[in-house]
Structure 1
Amino acid sequence: MGWRQTTSALSKEEQAALLEELLQSGLLLEEDRLLYSMLMPDRVKRMQEVLDLRTNHITILTEGVDDPHNQSAVLRSADAFGVQTLHVVEGRAKFKPNSIIAKSADRWVDVVEHRSIEDAIDRLKADGYQVLATALSEEAVPLEGIDVSKPTVLLFGNEHHGVSETALAKADGNYVIPMQGYVQSLNISVAAAISLYDVTTRARHVVTDGYGLRAEEKQRILKNWMVKSLPKRSLGVYKQKGLTAFARETGKTE
Protein backbone atom coordinates (compact mmCIF):
# COMPACT_ATOMS: atom_id res chain seq x y z
CA MET A 1 0.00 0.00 0.00
CA GLY A 2 2.70 2.42 -1.09
CA TRP A 3 0.19 5.14 -1.97
CA ARG A 4 -0.85 5.70 1.63
CA GLN A 5 0.71 8.16 4.07
CA THR A 6 1.64 6.50 7.34
CA THR A 7 2.16 9.31 9.85
CA SER A 8 -0.86 10.23 11.94
CA ALA A 9 -1.36 12.36 15.03
CA LEU A 10 -3.95 9.82 16.19
CA SER A 11 -2.85 6.78 18.16
CA LYS A 12 -3.65 3.31 16.83
CA GLU A 13 -6.41 3.06 19.42
CA GLU A 14 -7.88 6.39 18.32
CA GLN A 15 -7.69 5.36 14.68
CA ALA A 16 -9.49 2.10 15.42
CA ALA A 17 -12.13 3.91 17.46
CA LEU A 18 -12.69 6.43 14.67
CA LEU A 19 -13.18 3.71 12.05
CA GLU A 20 -15.56 1.82 14.33
CA GLU A 21 -17.56 4.98 15.03
CA LEU A 22 -17.86 5.84 11.34
CA LEU A 23 -19.01 2.33 10.44
CA GLN A 24 -21.41 1.97 13.37
CA SER A 25 -23.03 5.34 12.69
CA GLY A 26 -23.47 4.50 9.00
CA LEU A 27 -21.49 7.55 7.97
CA LEU A 28 -18.95 5.25 6.32
CA LEU A 29 -20.22 2.27 4.35
CA GLU A 30 -18.42 -1.06 4.48
CA GLU A 31 -17.88 -0.88 0.72
CA ASP A 32 -15.94 2.36 1.17
CA ARG A 33 -13.33 1.02 3.58
CA LEU A 34 -10.79 0.92 0.74
CA LEU A 35 -11.36 4.60 0.10
CA TYR A 36 -11.04 5.36 3.82
CA SER A 37 -7.79 3.39 4.04
CA MET A 38 -6.19 5.60 1.39
CA LEU A 39 -6.58 8.76 3.47
CA MET A 40 -5.04 9.95 6.69
CA PRO A 41 -7.41 9.18 9.59
CA ASP A 42 -6.80 12.71 10.86
CA ARG A 43 -8.20 14.13 7.63
CA VAL A 44 -11.31 11.97 7.75
CA LYS A 45 -11.84 12.91 11.39
CA ARG A 46 -11.70 16.58 10.39
CA MET A 47 -14.29 15.90 7.68
CA GLN A 48 -16.52 14.28 10.30
CA GLU A 49 -16.16 17.31 12.58
CA VAL A 50 -16.99 19.74 9.78
CA LEU A 51 -19.98 17.66 8.65
CA ASP A 52 -21.42 17.82 12.15
CA LEU A 53 -21.56 21.62 11.81
CA ARG A 54 -22.90 21.73 8.24
CA THR A 55 -26.43 22.81 7.38
CA ASN A 56 -28.91 23.10 4.55
CA HIS A 57 -31.40 24.90 6.79
CA ILE A 58 -29.79 28.09 5.47
CA THR A 59 -28.73 28.31 1.84
CA ILE A 60 -27.84 30.90 -0.80
CA LEU A 61 -29.20 31.60 -4.27
CA THR A 62 -27.23 33.87 -6.60
CA GLU A 63 -28.78 35.37 -9.72
CA GLY A 64 -26.50 36.53 -12.51
CA VAL A 65 -23.39 37.04 -10.39
CA ASP A 66 -20.79 37.29 -13.16
CA ASP A 67 -17.54 38.27 -11.45
CA PRO A 68 -15.44 35.16 -10.63
CA HIS A 69 -14.06 37.02 -7.60
CA ASN A 70 -17.56 37.43 -6.19
CA GLN A 71 -18.55 33.87 -7.09
CA SER A 72 -15.50 32.62 -5.24
CA ALA A 73 -16.00 34.86 -2.22
CA VAL A 74 -19.61 33.73 -1.78
CA LEU A 75 -18.49 30.10 -1.94
CA ARG A 76 -15.81 30.78 0.64
CA SER A 77 -18.30 32.45 2.98
CA ALA A 78 -20.71 29.53 2.60
CA ASP A 79 -17.98 27.12 3.63
CA ALA A 80 -16.79 29.34 6.47
CA PHE A 81 -20.24 29.54 8.06
CA GLY A 82 -21.19 25.90 7.51
CA VAL A 83 -23.63 26.30 4.61
CA GLN A 84 -23.40 23.18 2.49
CA THR A 85 -25.25 24.20 -0.68
CA LEU A 86 -25.04 27.17 -3.03
CA HIS A 87 -27.75 27.55 -5.69
CA VAL A 88 -26.78 29.38 -8.86
CA VAL A 89 -28.58 30.97 -11.80
CA GLU A 90 -25.95 32.07 -14.29
CA GLY A 91 -26.00 35.47 -15.96
CA ARG A 92 -23.85 36.58 -18.87
CA ALA A 93 -20.84 34.70 -17.52
CA LYS A 94 -20.44 31.07 -16.58
CA PHE A 95 -20.19 30.13 -12.93
CA LYS A 96 -16.44 29.58 -12.76
CA PRO A 97 -15.05 30.60 -9.37
CA ASN A 98 -11.39 31.48 -8.92
CA SER A 99 -9.86 28.61 -6.94
CA ILE A 100 -7.24 30.86 -5.34
CA ILE A 101 -9.88 33.19 -3.91
CA ALA A 102 -12.27 30.36 -3.07
CA LYS A 103 -9.51 28.64 -1.05
CA SER A 104 -10.78 25.21 -2.19
CA ALA A 105 -14.30 25.96 -0.92
CA ASP A 106 -15.57 24.78 -4.30
CA ARG A 107 -14.43 21.29 -3.27
CA TRP A 108 -16.45 21.27 -0.06
CA VAL A 109 -19.63 23.17 -0.94
CA ASP A 110 -22.28 21.64 -3.22
CA VAL A 111 -23.17 23.90 -6.16
CA VAL A 112 -26.60 23.42 -7.75
CA GLU A 113 -27.19 25.23 -11.04
CA HIS A 114 -30.70 26.15 -12.20
CA ARG A 115 -31.91 27.03 -15.70
CA SER A 116 -33.79 30.13 -14.63
CA ILE A 117 -34.57 32.18 -11.55
CA GLU A 118 -38.20 31.07 -11.78
CA ASP A 119 -37.20 27.40 -11.71
CA ALA A 120 -34.81 27.98 -8.83
CA ILE A 121 -37.29 29.79 -6.61
CA ASP A 122 -40.12 27.36 -7.42
CA ARG A 123 -37.93 24.38 -6.55
CA LEU A 124 -36.67 25.89 -3.31
CA LYS A 125 -40.16 26.87 -2.22
CA ALA A 126 -41.37 23.36 -3.00
CA ASP A 127 -38.63 22.10 -0.68
CA GLY A 128 -40.06 24.22 2.13
CA TYR A 129 -37.79 27.27 2.01
CA GLN A 130 -38.72 30.90 2.43
CA VAL A 131 -36.88 32.98 -0.17
CA LEU A 132 -35.68 36.41 0.95
CA ALA A 133 -34.04 38.77 -1.53
CA THR A 134 -31.56 41.51 -0.72
CA ALA A 135 -33.30 44.68 -1.87
CA LEU A 136 -34.07 48.18 -0.62
CA SER A 137 -37.82 48.60 -0.25
CA GLU A 138 -40.36 49.85 2.25
CA GLU A 139 -41.34 46.27 3.02
CA ALA A 140 -37.79 45.05 3.61
CA VAL A 141 -37.02 43.71 7.09
CA PRO A 142 -33.63 44.28 8.72
CA LEU A 143 -31.24 41.34 8.60
CA GLU A 144 -31.69 40.63 12.30
CA GLY A 145 -35.46 40.49 11.77
CA ILE A 146 -35.35 37.42 9.52
CA ASP A 147 -37.23 34.49 11.06
CA VAL A 148 -34.44 31.90 11.08
CA SER A 149 -36.67 29.20 12.55
CA LYS A 150 -37.83 28.60 8.96
CA PRO A 151 -35.59 27.05 6.30
CA THR A 152 -34.26 30.14 4.55
CA VAL A 153 -32.78 31.07 1.18
CA LEU A 154 -30.83 34.32 0.93
CA LEU A 155 -31.08 35.63 -2.63
CA PHE A 156 -28.35 37.87 -4.05
CA GLY A 157 -28.47 39.52 -7.46
CA ASN A 158 -26.11 40.80 -10.11
CA GLU A 159 -23.27 43.09 -9.03
CA HIS A 160 -24.61 46.06 -11.00
CA HIS A 161 -28.35 45.52 -11.38
CA GLY A 162 -29.21 43.64 -8.21
CA VAL A 163 -32.04 41.13 -7.95
CA SER A 164 -34.30 41.06 -11.01
CA GLU A 165 -37.92 42.19 -10.92
CA THR A 166 -38.94 38.62 -11.71
CA ALA A 167 -37.08 37.31 -8.69
CA LEU A 168 -38.42 40.05 -6.43
CA ALA A 169 -41.97 39.21 -7.48
CA LYS A 170 -41.51 35.51 -6.71
CA ALA A 171 -39.57 35.93 -3.46
CA ASP A 172 -41.36 35.74 -0.12
CA GLY A 173 -39.90 39.05 0.99
CA ASN A 174 -36.90 41.37 1.08
CA TYR A 175 -34.30 42.17 3.69
CA VAL A 176 -31.61 44.79 4.15
CA ILE A 177 -28.41 45.07 6.13
CA PRO A 178 -28.85 48.21 8.27
CA MET A 179 -26.15 50.83 7.65
CA GLN A 180 -25.19 54.05 9.41
CA GLY A 181 -23.10 55.73 6.73
CA TYR A 182 -23.68 57.45 3.40
CA VAL A 183 -23.52 54.25 1.35
CA GLN A 184 -26.70 52.24 0.92
CA SER A 185 -25.24 49.01 -0.45
CA LEU A 186 -22.36 46.60 -0.05
CA ASN A 187 -20.47 44.41 -2.48
CA ILE A 188 -22.19 41.04 -2.79
CA SER A 189 -19.24 39.21 -1.25
CA VAL A 190 -19.37 41.41 1.86
CA ALA A 191 -23.16 41.31 2.08
CA ALA A 192 -23.19 37.52 1.81
CA ALA A 193 -20.59 37.11 4.56
CA ILE A 194 -22.40 39.45 6.96
CA SER A 195 -25.77 37.87 6.22
CA LEU A 196 -24.54 34.30 6.63
CA TYR A 197 -22.79 35.05 9.89
CA ASP A 198 -25.96 36.55 11.35
CA VAL A 199 -28.52 33.99 10.21
CA THR A 200 -26.42 30.88 10.86
CA THR A 201 -25.41 32.09 14.33
CA ARG A 202 -29.01 32.75 15.30
CA ALA A 203 -30.40 29.63 13.63
CA ARG A 204 -28.03 27.35 15.54
CA HIS A 205 -29.58 28.61 18.79
CA VAL A 206 -33.18 28.71 17.56
CA VAL A 207 -33.51 25.49 15.57
CA THR A 208 -33.21 22.58 17.98
CA ASP A 209 -34.09 19.86 15.48
CA GLY A 210 -33.31 19.87 11.78
CA TYR A 211 -30.53 22.43 11.58
CA GLY A 212 -27.82 19.88 10.80
CA LEU A 213 -27.60 17.60 7.79
CA ARG A 214 -29.58 14.38 7.57
CA ALA A 215 -27.68 11.11 7.97
CA GLU A 216 -27.95 10.22 4.28
CA GLU A 217 -26.68 13.67 3.30
CA LYS A 218 -23.65 13.28 5.54
CA GLN A 219 -22.92 9.85 4.10
CA ARG A 220 -23.01 11.13 0.51
CA ILE A 221 -20.95 14.22 1.26
CA LEU A 222 -18.29 12.36 3.25
CA LYS A 223 -17.71 9.95 0.38
CA ASN A 224 -17.58 12.81 -2.10
CA TRP A 225 -15.07 14.67 0.06
CA MET A 226 -12.90 11.58 0.45
CA VAL A 227 -12.79 11.01 -3.31
CA LYS A 228 -11.90 14.66 -3.90
CA SER A 229 -9.14 14.44 -1.27
CA LEU A 230 -7.27 11.61 -2.97
CA PRO A 231 -3.97 12.56 -4.62
CA LYS A 232 -3.90 11.76 -8.35
CA ARG A 233 -1.79 8.65 -7.84
CA SER A 234 -4.07 7.34 -5.12
CA LEU A 235 -7.11 8.13 -7.23
CA GLY A 236 -5.68 5.93 -9.95
CA VAL A 237 -5.21 3.07 -7.49
CA TYR A 238 -8.73 3.56 -6.13
CA LYS A 239 -10.14 3.42 -9.65
CA GLN A 240 -8.37 0.10 -10.21
CA LYS A 241 -8.99 -1.55 -6.87
CA GLY A 242 -12.34 0.00 -6.08
CA LEU A 243 -13.73 0.37 -9.57
CA THR A 244 -17.31 -0.48 -8.68
CA ALA A 245 -17.45 2.08 -5.89
CA PHE A 246 -15.68 4.65 -8.05
CA ALA A 247 -18.16 4.21 -10.89
CA ARG A 248 -21.09 4.50 -8.51
CA GLU A 249 -19.71 7.71 -7.03
CA THR A 250 -18.58 9.54 -10.16
CA GLY A 251 -20.49 7.96 -13.02
CA LYS A 252 -17.16 7.19 -14.69
CA THR A 253 -15.51 3.88 -15.46
CA GLU A 254 -12.05 5.21 -16.25
Structure 2
Amino acid sequence: MTPERYAKIRQVLDRRQPDLRVLTDGVHKAQNLSAILRTCDAAGVMNLHMVTQPGQRTGIWKRSAGGSARWVKRHLHPDGSHATLALKQQGYRVYAANLSNKAVDYRTLDYTVPCVIVMGAEKTGVSAPVLALTDAEMTIPMMGMVESYNVSVATALILNEAQRQREQAGLYASPSRLSPTEYANTRFEWCHPKLARFCQKNNLAYPALDSEGDVLDPAQWYQDVRARKARNQPKELTDDHL
Protein backbone atom coordinates (compact mmCIF):
# COMPACT_ATOMS: atom_id res chain seq x y z
CA MET A 1 0.00 0.00 0.00
CA THR A 2 1.70 3.15 -1.20
CA PRO A 3 0.95 6.49 0.52
CA GLU A 4 -0.53 7.78 -2.75
CA ARG A 5 -2.84 4.78 -3.09
CA TYR A 6 -4.02 5.07 0.50
CA ALA A 7 -4.62 8.80 0.13
CA LYS A 8 -6.75 8.14 -2.99
CA ILE A 9 -8.80 5.51 -1.17
CA ARG A 10 -9.43 7.87 1.73
CA GLN A 11 -10.35 10.71 -0.62
CA VAL A 12 -12.88 8.62 -2.55
CA LEU A 13 -14.32 7.09 0.61
CA ASP A 14 -14.76 10.53 2.16
CA ARG A 15 -17.02 11.47 -0.77
CA ARG A 16 -19.24 8.39 -0.73
CA GLN A 17 -22.97 9.11 -0.44
CA PRO A 18 -24.65 6.57 1.85
CA ASP A 19 -28.14 7.95 1.16
CA LEU A 20 -28.06 8.10 -2.65
CA ARG A 21 -28.85 4.75 -4.22
CA VAL A 22 -29.74 3.25 -7.59
CA LEU A 23 -32.17 0.38 -8.14
CA THR A 24 -32.37 -1.39 -11.50
CA ASP A 25 -35.73 -3.06 -12.02
CA GLY A 26 -35.34 -5.86 -14.54
CA VAL A 27 -32.25 -4.49 -16.30
CA HIS A 28 -30.39 -7.62 -17.35
CA LYS A 29 -27.92 -6.80 -20.12
CA ALA A 30 -24.40 -7.06 -18.78
CA GLN A 31 -23.15 -4.06 -20.73
CA ASN A 32 -25.89 -1.85 -19.28
CA LEU A 33 -25.39 -3.04 -15.71
CA SER A 34 -21.63 -2.60 -16.06
CA ALA A 35 -22.01 0.95 -17.35
CA ILE A 36 -24.47 1.80 -14.57
CA LEU A 37 -22.07 0.38 -12.00
CA ARG A 38 -19.28 2.55 -13.37
CA THR A 39 -21.49 5.63 -13.25
CA CYS A 40 -22.47 4.89 -9.65
CA ASP A 41 -18.81 4.87 -8.67
CA ALA A 42 -18.16 8.12 -10.53
CA ALA A 43 -21.05 9.86 -8.73
CA GLY A 44 -20.06 8.59 -5.29
CA VAL A 45 -22.96 6.13 -5.02
CA MET A 46 -22.12 3.40 -2.54
CA ASN A 47 -24.97 0.93 -3.13
CA LEU A 48 -26.49 -0.46 -6.33
CA HIS A 49 -29.63 -2.57 -5.96
CA MET A 50 -30.55 -4.96 -8.76
CA VAL A 51 -33.92 -6.68 -9.11
CA THR A 52 -33.54 -9.93 -11.01
CA GLN A 53 -35.81 -12.73 -12.09
CA PRO A 54 -35.06 -16.41 -11.27
CA GLY A 55 -32.32 -17.68 -13.54
CA GLN A 56 -31.51 -14.21 -14.82
CA ARG A 57 -27.83 -13.45 -15.14
CA THR A 58 -26.40 -10.28 -13.67
CA GLY A 59 -22.85 -10.54 -14.90
CA ILE A 60 -20.57 -7.53 -15.07
CA TRP A 61 -18.27 -6.77 -17.95
CA LYS A 62 -14.97 -5.78 -16.37
CA ARG A 63 -13.98 -3.54 -19.26
CA SER A 64 -17.29 -1.67 -19.26
CA ALA A 65 -17.35 -1.46 -15.46
CA GLY A 66 -13.81 -0.08 -15.40
CA GLY A 67 -13.01 -1.90 -12.16
CA SER A 68 -15.95 -0.31 -10.36
CA ALA A 69 -17.30 -3.63 -9.07
CA ARG A 70 -14.77 -3.38 -6.25
CA TRP A 71 -15.91 0.06 -5.13
CA VAL A 72 -19.72 -0.19 -5.29
CA LYS A 73 -21.71 -2.63 -3.18
CA ARG A 74 -24.23 -4.68 -5.14
CA HIS A 75 -27.46 -5.99 -3.62
CA LEU A 76 -29.60 -8.57 -5.46
CA HIS A 77 -33.36 -8.68 -4.92
CA PRO A 78 -35.85 -11.23 -6.31
CA ASP A 79 -38.78 -8.83 -6.03
CA GLY A 80 -38.85 -5.16 -6.95
CA SER A 81 -41.76 -4.10 -4.77
CA HIS A 82 -40.25 -5.66 -1.64
CA ALA A 83 -36.90 -4.01 -2.32
CA THR A 84 -38.56 -0.63 -2.92
CA LEU A 85 -40.76 -0.87 0.15
CA ALA A 86 -37.78 -1.77 2.34
CA LEU A 87 -35.91 1.31 1.15
CA LYS A 88 -38.96 3.54 1.68
CA GLN A 89 -39.25 2.24 5.23
CA GLN A 90 -35.66 3.35 5.77
CA GLY A 91 -36.67 6.90 4.85
CA TYR A 92 -35.71 7.03 1.17
CA ARG A 93 -37.72 8.86 -1.46
CA VAL A 94 -38.17 6.80 -4.61
CA TYR A 95 -37.76 8.47 -7.99
CA ALA A 96 -38.56 6.29 -11.00
CA ALA A 97 -37.60 7.06 -14.59
CA ASN A 98 -40.80 6.49 -16.52
CA LEU A 99 -42.61 7.85 -19.57
CA SER A 100 -46.04 8.83 -18.28
CA ASN A 101 -48.37 11.79 -17.88
CA LYS A 102 -47.24 12.08 -14.25
CA ALA A 103 -43.54 12.27 -15.08
CA VAL A 104 -41.71 15.53 -14.35
CA ASP A 105 -38.41 16.86 -15.66
CA TYR A 106 -35.72 14.95 -13.77
CA ARG A 107 -33.91 18.22 -12.99
CA THR A 108 -36.81 19.50 -10.88
CA LEU A 109 -36.48 16.78 -8.23
CA ASP A 110 -34.55 17.16 -5.00
CA TYR A 111 -31.64 14.70 -4.86
CA THR A 112 -30.12 16.14 -1.70
CA VAL A 113 -32.56 14.12 0.41
CA PRO A 114 -32.13 10.37 0.94
CA CYS A 115 -33.35 8.98 -2.36
CA VAL A 116 -33.36 5.96 -4.66
CA ILE A 117 -33.23 6.34 -8.42
CA VAL A 118 -35.14 3.50 -10.10
CA MET A 119 -34.29 2.54 -13.67
CA GLY A 120 -36.28 -0.05 -15.61
CA ALA A 121 -35.48 -2.29 -18.53
CA GLU A 122 -35.47 -0.51 -21.89
CA LYS A 123 -38.38 -2.49 -23.38
CA THR A 124 -40.66 -2.87 -20.36
CA GLY A 125 -39.66 0.02 -18.11
CA VAL A 126 -40.18 0.09 -14.37
CA SER A 127 -42.66 -2.56 -13.26
CA ALA A 128 -46.15 -1.57 -12.13
CA PRO A 129 -45.71 -2.78 -8.51
CA VAL A 130 -42.61 -0.60 -8.14
CA LEU A 131 -44.28 2.40 -9.80
CA ALA A 132 -47.10 2.12 -7.28
CA LEU A 133 -44.56 2.77 -4.50
CA THR A 134 -42.70 5.68 -6.07
CA ASP A 135 -42.78 9.21 -4.72
CA ALA A 136 -42.24 10.73 -8.16
CA GLU A 137 -41.91 9.69 -11.79
CA MET A 138 -39.38 11.54 -13.91
CA THR A 139 -38.35 11.84 -17.51
CA ILE A 140 -35.44 13.29 -19.48
CA PRO A 141 -36.62 15.82 -22.11
CA MET A 142 -35.93 14.59 -25.64
CA MET A 143 -35.46 16.67 -28.80
CA GLY A 144 -35.32 13.88 -31.37
CA MET A 145 -37.46 11.11 -32.78
CA VAL A 146 -36.59 8.54 -30.14
CA GLU A 147 -38.50 8.58 -26.84
CA SER A 148 -35.69 7.73 -24.46
CA TYR A 149 -31.97 7.30 -23.95
CA ASN A 150 -30.28 3.97 -23.41
CA VAL A 151 -30.81 3.01 -19.75
CA SER A 152 -27.14 3.38 -18.84
CA VAL A 153 -26.95 6.81 -20.49
CA ALA A 154 -30.15 7.91 -18.75
CA THR A 155 -28.74 6.76 -15.40
CA ALA A 156 -25.59 8.79 -16.03
CA LEU A 157 -27.57 11.95 -16.81
CA ILE A 158 -29.74 11.63 -13.71
CA LEU A 159 -26.81 10.85 -11.42
CA ASN A 160 -24.91 13.79 -12.85
CA GLU A 161 -27.77 16.06 -11.79
CA ALA A 162 -27.86 14.40 -8.37
CA GLN A 163 -24.13 14.96 -8.04
CA ARG A 164 -24.47 18.62 -9.05
CA GLN A 165 -27.15 19.25 -6.44
CA ARG A 166 -25.31 17.42 -3.70
CA GLU A 167 -22.05 19.14 -4.46
CA GLN A 168 -23.75 22.53 -4.21
CA ALA A 169 -25.24 21.44 -0.88
CA GLY A 170 -21.79 20.47 0.42
CA LEU A 171 -22.62 16.78 0.76
CA TYR A 172 -19.33 15.70 -0.82
CA ALA A 173 -17.25 17.79 1.56
CA SER A 174 -15.30 16.27 4.45
CA PRO A 175 -15.82 14.78 6.93
CA SER A 176 -17.27 11.55 5.59
CA ARG A 177 -21.02 11.06 5.87
CA LEU A 178 -20.59 7.35 6.55
CA SER A 179 -20.95 6.04 10.09
CA PRO A 180 -17.58 5.36 11.80
CA THR A 181 -18.18 1.61 11.65
CA GLU A 182 -19.13 1.56 7.97
CA TYR A 183 -16.23 3.83 7.14
CA ALA A 184 -13.70 1.65 8.97
CA ASN A 185 -15.04 -1.60 7.49
CA THR A 186 -15.18 -0.24 3.95
CA ARG A 187 -11.71 1.24 4.24
CA PHE A 188 -10.35 -2.15 5.27
CA GLU A 189 -12.18 -3.97 2.46
CA TRP A 190 -10.84 -1.51 -0.11
CA CYS A 191 -7.28 -1.63 1.21
CA HIS A 192 -7.08 -5.38 1.84
CA PRO A 193 -9.75 -7.20 -0.21
CA LYS A 194 -8.22 -10.68 0.07
CA LEU A 195 -7.75 -10.44 3.81
CA ALA A 196 -11.26 -9.03 4.16
CA ARG A 197 -12.70 -12.07 2.36
CA PHE A 198 -10.70 -14.35 4.65
CA CYS A 199 -12.08 -12.59 7.73
CA GLN A 200 -15.64 -12.79 6.39
CA LYS A 201 -15.32 -16.49 5.59
CA ASN A 202 -14.01 -17.29 9.04
CA ASN A 203 -16.15 -14.86 11.05
CA LEU A 204 -13.18 -12.77 12.18
CA ALA A 205 -13.21 -9.11 13.06
CA TYR A 206 -11.11 -6.97 10.75
CA PRO A 207 -7.72 -6.08 12.24
CA ALA A 208 -7.01 -2.42 12.94
CA LEU A 209 -5.14 -0.34 10.37
CA ASP A 210 -2.38 2.15 11.04
CA SER A 211 -2.18 5.69 9.66
CA GLU A 212 -0.75 4.39 6.36
CA GLY A 213 -3.46 1.80 5.73
CA ASP A 214 -1.40 -1.22 6.77
CA VAL A 215 -2.48 -3.82 9.34
CA LEU A 216 -1.51 -2.66 12.80
CA ASP A 217 0.81 -5.21 14.44
CA PRO A 218 0.18 -8.01 11.88
CA ALA A 219 2.33 -10.53 13.78
CA GLN A 220 0.11 -10.24 16.85
CA TRP A 221 -3.04 -10.53 14.74
CA TYR A 222 -1.80 -13.70 13.03
CA GLN A 223 -0.85 -15.10 16.41
CA ASP A 224 -4.35 -14.44 17.71
CA VAL A 225 -5.85 -16.17 14.66
CA ARG A 226 -3.66 -19.22 15.17
CA ALA A 227 -4.60 -19.29 18.83
CA ARG A 228 -8.24 -19.27 17.84
CA LYS A 229 -7.59 -22.16 15.46
CA ALA A 230 -6.00 -24.10 18.31
CA ARG A 231 -9.23 -23.69 20.29
CA ASN A 232 -11.03 -26.01 17.87
CA GLN A 233 -12.08 -23.40 15.33
CA PRO A 234 -13.17 -24.45 11.79
CA LYS A 235 -10.62 -26.36 9.76
CA GLU A 236 -10.40 -23.52 7.25
CA LEU A 237 -8.25 -21.59 9.75
CA THR A 238 -4.93 -23.14 8.78
CA ASP A 239 -1.56 -21.57 8.18
CA ASP A 240 -2.01 -22.28 4.46
CA HIS A 241 -4.89 -19.81 4.42
CA LEU A 242 -2.89 -17.14 6.18
Counterpart-to-counterpart distance in 1, 2:111 and 2:105: 13
Give identity over the alignment, percent.
32
Counterpart-to-counterpart distance in 2, 1:157 and 1:183: 17
| Misfit runs of 4+, over 6 Å | none
How many residues align structurally? 203
Quote how far apart the aligned CAs of 1:229 are.
7.4
Q: Give 2:114's aligned residue.
A: 151
Q: Give 1:174's aligned residue.
A: 137
Q: Give 1:216's aligned residue.
A: 181
Q: Give 1:118's aligned residue.
A: 81
Check if 1:205 corresponds to 2:168.
Answer: yes
Q: Cα deviations across residues 184-236 of structure 1 (Å, max 9, x unaligned)?
A: 10111100111100012102223669983233221111111112278xxxxxx
Check if 1:105 corresponds to 2:43.
Answer: no
Counterpart-to-counterpart distance in 2, 1:179 and 1:120: 30
Check if 1:70 corresponds to 2:32.
Answer: yes
Q: Which runs of 5+ in 2 are unaligned?
A: 196-214, 229-235
Q: Cα deviations across residues 87-141 of structure 1 (Å, max 9, x unaligned)?
A: 1111362221111110110001011112311221011111110011110111111
Q: Cα deviations across residues 20-55 of structure 1 (Å, max 9, x unaligned)?
A: xxxxxxxxxxxxxxxxxxx22221111001011111
Q: Cα deviations across residues 140-195 of structure 1 (Å, max 9, x unaligned)?
A: 11111111232110001113211111111121220011122222101111001111
Q: Give 2:200's aligned residue.
A: none
Counterpart-to-counterpart distance in 1, 2:79 and 2:100: 24
| CA-based RMSD | 2.5
Label 1:144 to 1:192 Cα distance change in 2 as closer, same or farther (>3 A). same
Amino acid at match of 1:228: P
Label 1:153 to 1:207 Cα distance change in 2 as closer, same or farther (>3 A). farther
Whether contact under 8 Å (2:13, 2:176) holds in the other structure is: no
Counterpart-to-counterpart distance in 1, 2:11 and 2:112: 24
Label 1:182 to 1:211 Cα distance change in 2 as closer, same or farther (>3 A). farther
Specify the SS of the correspondent of 1:57.
Answer: strand
TM-score normalised by the chain length of structure 1? 0.73
Whether contact under 8 Å (1:203, 1:211) holds in the other structure is: no
Whether contact under 8 Å (2:103, 2:137) holds in the other structure is: yes
Label 1:211 to 1:227 Cα distance change in 2 as closer, same or farther (>3 A). closer
Q: Give 2:104's aligned residue.
A: 141
Q: Which one has a larger percent helix, Structure 1 or Structure 2?
A: 1
Amino acid at match of 2:23: L
Whether contact under 8 Å (2:34, 2:62) holds in the other structure is: yes
Q: Give 2:50's aligned residue.
A: 88
Which stretch has the larger CA shift, 189-198 or 215-224?
215-224
Amino acid at match of 1:105: S
Specify the SS of the correspondent of 1:78.
Answer: helix
Amino acid at match of 1:212: R
Quote how far apart the aligned CAs of 1:83 are.
0.8
Counterpart-to-counterpart distance in 1, 2:60 and 2:105: 29
Counterpart-to-counterpart distance in 2, 1:221 and 1:57: 16
Whether contact under 8 Å (1:148, 1:206) holds in the other structure is: no
Quote how far apart the aligned CAs of 1:60 are.
0.1
Counterpart-to-counterpart distance in 1, 2:131 and 2:87: 15
Counterpart-to-counterpart distance in 2, 1:203 and 1:139: 25
Whether contact under 8 Å (2:15, 2:176) holds in the other structure is: no
